[in-house]
Chain A
């Protein structure tokens, strides 16, 4: 949550630029959404301290956008807030985006807090390392915290090169002691430990080259800095809690996709080294879409991916040798109705997760979303085992503007 000196600096740059540039430009525009979200858990909590209630949340994410200098520059501000009725750690505020962007013929520059996405696969995002996961949002890890950055993109005939300077580390969010979807012991994020003596002030670097040639999209990336994925260790001071330990890592990543008619073939691979380990991990898979399935206007997509981690049972991610199978239904109706159903299961037979997500537009500005997640597993080394009492159903109503 804390934006310290270095990240504050980046924000200060933005504010200074706003002050100089705003003067006689056209007014900006507001957009965004507000949502009410309610979760019900199927079982009583499995660990001491967890609240057995059904949490309700209010979420607000407005966005302000303004063009400057005739459109060659722009400012974006997107704060985010969640108020949760049960978990104080889920109640949180973040700046998802506060950035100034300048676009030139052969390059682009972005300074401030922003978000980037790297990768091609659906089940997990191995290569995607720049932004920290906002884990309290959803156990799927798709939600990200804003990352302070200076990003220079060089656009060439042979691809796009992105250079990142990342001052200021964002800690992963974890559910609090009374929250669900957490390890048996709560994670105390206040006492995070860092390998680097610079702690959160450590400046990270990243580089990415990406290109598209015919049917192939290719990305190569490199990252040097504080790991986004902490190791959880027993707290030395407060027994009964875990503390995150953030190592220094260097990671080389590859992501590629071949788009061949109805087929998408995907591969993500990383090699990550730190003081504690040096390992490779991959996600490889395919996606096939039946357009206009069953003689209707429905599109039916089928996804299969294999997740592998060289560390095996010692992997910090739950996916050391797992299979992901999913189907995506797009109804192509005026309400943009969509259903996604997927399962990810350990190939050793222990631990699985099932997810069903459905969404539909009501009128022109409302979205109703339902989500169900179920976990199983008896092997205590499998992280899904911790979640086996946390099967939940969630209903969310969003008003977009």
Chain B
């Protein structure tokens, strides 16, 4: 998956040309999504640690700690392994996901108390992930094919020249009619997403802050904050210990690895 030196300039020229050449707002929206995806491709594998803080409207907090491992799949969605460390009662619980560009993902859950690996339905796109304001579809691997796109406008957001695009989930089981996404023009990093529910009212806003670059290419936000405008609840994701290209393999993402993940 590593690009050759010769291929990089050719792709860059193509990518720079694409947004300009695209004529309709739909083509331009897709071109921006493809470029953002291209810039993030080739990381091969990564691991990170995540502190989730769930807040209700009274400001009461509860915490989750988990670790995430991801493996890029050429031609398909990523493979992912999520391991829970806290709360203590779910310590060692692990979720293995083979995401696909189209159709349902494959998911297995490991329940340490029963030593049981359970294949679970992944058709629950819009349900909350571990009681948070993030739906399963918000935390799963984002594939270009999962949306239709439309370029809206250029705008200055937090002092950065940005593209504003709209994307429409292809999956009818999605909880959203549309999402409005702000990406900075310099690096194609997502800065903000507004989520509109099935009745097309503004449901949630996700903001990304503290972007850091890894391996001179891959940008990751240290902090992601999701605010639910309809309930007043919010969830903060604080990422740390990002590592890339550790040499993870398929073997680190199979059912045997799930049962000993911790």
Give chain A's interface residues, CB within 8 Å of chain B. 31, 33, 65, 74, 101, 103, 105-106, 108, 115-117, 120, 142, 153, 155, 160, 210, 212, 214-215, 217, 257, 259, 261-264, 289, 291-292, 297, 299, 332-336, 361, 364-365, 367, 398, 400-401
Contact = CB atoms under 8 A, between A and B. Distances in A.
Contacts of B115: 115-117
Nearest to B126: A292
A364 B116 CA distance: 24
Contact of A217 (B114, B119, B254): B119
Interface of B: 54, 56, 62-63, 86-92, 104, 106, 108, 114-124, 126-128, 130-131, 175, 249, 251, 254-256, 260, 262
Nearest to B104: A261
A96 B215 CA distance: 44
B140 to A, nearest CB: 14
A333 B131 contact: yes
B2 to A, nearest CB: 21
Contacts of A31: 88, 91-92
Contacts of A333: 131
A33 B92 CA distance: 13
Contacts of A160: 254-256
Contacts of A259: 106, 119-122
A156 B136 CA distance: 30
A122 B94 CA distance: 20
Nearest to B91: A31
25 contacts: A103-B260, A108-B260, A120-B118, A155-B251, A155-B256, A212-B255, A217-B119, A257-B119, A289-B124, A291-B123, A291-B126, A297-B127, A332-B128, A334-B54, A334-B56, A336-B130, A361-B87, A361-B89, A364-B88, A365-B87, A365-B88, A365-B89, A367-B89, A398-B89, A400-B91
Given A257-B119, A398-B89, A291 B128 contact: no
Given A400-B87, A401-B88, 12 more contacts: A31-B92, A33-B89, A108-B256, A259-B119, A292-B126, A297-B127, A297-B128, A299-B124, A332-B128, A334-B131, A361-B87, A364-B62
Contacts of A74: 260
A106 B120 CA distance: 26
Given A33-B88, A103-B260, A262-B121, A142 B131 contact: no
A295 B126 CA distance: 12
Contacts of B54: 334
A336 B249 CA distance: 33
A132 to B, nearest CB: 14
